[in-house]
Amino acid sequence: MKVAVPREIREGERRVALVPESCRKLVKAGIEVTVESGAGSAAFFPDDAYREAGASVGENAASVLGWADFILKVQAPASYPSPGPHEVDAMREGAILLCTLMPSRHPDAVERLAARRITSFATDRIPRITRAQSMDTLSSMANISGYKAVLVAANALPRYFPMLTTAAGTVLPAKVFVIGAGVAGLSAIATARRLGASVEATDTRPAAKEQVESLGARFVGVDTAEVAQDASGYARELSEDFYKKQAELLADRCAASDVVITTALIGGVKAPRLITAGMVRGMKQGSVIVDAAAEGGGNCALTRPGETIVEGGVTICGPLNLPAEMPWHASTLYSRNLTAFVLAFWKDGRFTLDLDDEILRGALVTHGGEVRLATAG
């Protein structure tokens, strides 16, 4: 099997889908790997490192994608700068693609893949089951997003995070409020605690309380009997009554906080609107909101994705693609996830396309010229 790794073309994307460490594993398994020249440069993986790992290096995307049986990418396929072609157009008809496709955000790419009869798998749709933990790119990248979100906040906050005792007196710790205690939220909590902040967190899932408290933070939440996650393990939408009570809680905790970090996503993709303009107006001047869900639309009503603004003395950061800001580790972890996926179905010298398998069925987006999205339970 011939595997191709093209250079990512989306603006600001510094990750690469396969690093030399993982390349060695695929080559050892008998898989031929070709990487587009410069694909790993932004993540500090030079072409020579791939050659040393047993891969060949192609001159451009067309020479890499055109012969590949299996393509590994980070982002969904996109169009090259005008008047360039679309990445899908360079792919061999009938090839297999594995990437963070997020089909609801990239319907055009999905239609193009179906039309070219590409079998595509979205890492963001891999079921959250024990057997698939090593393939979970969403969790790997969310860990980084939570960590980086706190660093963004610390940089924007006009005060210390930790408590300090100085000759000029005692400095009290910053109060940090984290909304959403999934992987990104827990990472944010742990990072803020390491920096010495006083941390509170909330989540729609009561089960998150123990995880939050294990990291030394205080859990605040709404008492509810509603089931807050779907069968895939992702957060789901709840009732209007729940959201009314949640809004009251959020307004109170935002007003008391120096930093608010939001990480809430529904289905791992869609960002619910949680912080209203009124809540922002109720916050202290100099406080900071880092909306780590900006790429999904944002949890704050005033967030401008990709921008940092100041509203009423409150700094609102809407960073996009935080993992790309730490490309070496983000690429390494992402690459390990993709490699685990490929090798899990590599049997007798070929990739076994068993669409009855729970993982492949859940991650499948297009196959045989059709869009084949599985419905989450």
Q: Which of 139, 145, 198, 287 is catalytic?
A: 139
Chain segment 280-338, per-residue pLDDT in tens: 999 999 999 999 999 999 999 999 999 999 999 999 999 999 999 999 999 999 999 99
361-369 average pLDDT score: 97
Residues 6+ apart with CB under 8 A from 73: 5, 6, 8, 17, 97, 98, 99
Does 350 qualify as catalytic in the annotation?
no
CB 65 within 8 A of CB 71: yes
CATH of 2-125+345-371, picked from 3.40.50.620, 3.40.800.20, 3.40.50.720, 3.40.50.970, is 3.40.50.720
Residue whose token pair is 């209203």: 276
Does 136 qualify as catalytic in the annotation?
yes
Please, how many CA atoms are within 13 Å of residue 230, restricted to the half-sphere of its CB?
14
Q: Helices in 158-260 by DSSP H: which ranges? A: 183-194, 208-214, 240-256
Domains 2-125+345-371 and 143-324 agree in fold:
yes
Chain segment 71-100, per-residue pLDDT in tens: 999 999 999 887 778 999 999 999 999 999
Q: Which of 133, 214, 239, 285 is catalytic?
A: 133
Chain segment 114-150, per-residue pLDDT in tens: 999 999 999 999 999 999 999 999 999 999 999 999 9
**Does residue 307 sit in helix, strand or coil?**
coil
Does 47 qualify as catalytic in the annotation?
no
Q: What is the pLDDT of residue 295?
A: 92
Q: Which string of b and e fits 55-94 if b means at least 16 CB within 10 Å?
A: bebbeebeebbeebbbbbbbbbbbbeeeeeeebbebbbee
Q: Hey, where are the domains in the chain?
A: 2-125+345-371, 143-324
Query: What CATH number was assigned to the domain covering residues 143-324?
Result: 3.40.50.720
Distance in angstroms (rounded) separating the CA atoms of residues 226 and 204: 9
Does 147 qualify as catalytic in the annotation?
no
CB 182 within 8 A of CB 189: no
Q: Which of 69, 234, 252, 361 is catalytic?
A: 234
Does 133 qualify as catalytic in the annotation?
yes
Work out the angle at residue 136's Cα, subtended by the Cα atoms of residues 102 and 40, and round it to the nearest 5 degrees.
75
244 against 95, higher pLDDT: 95
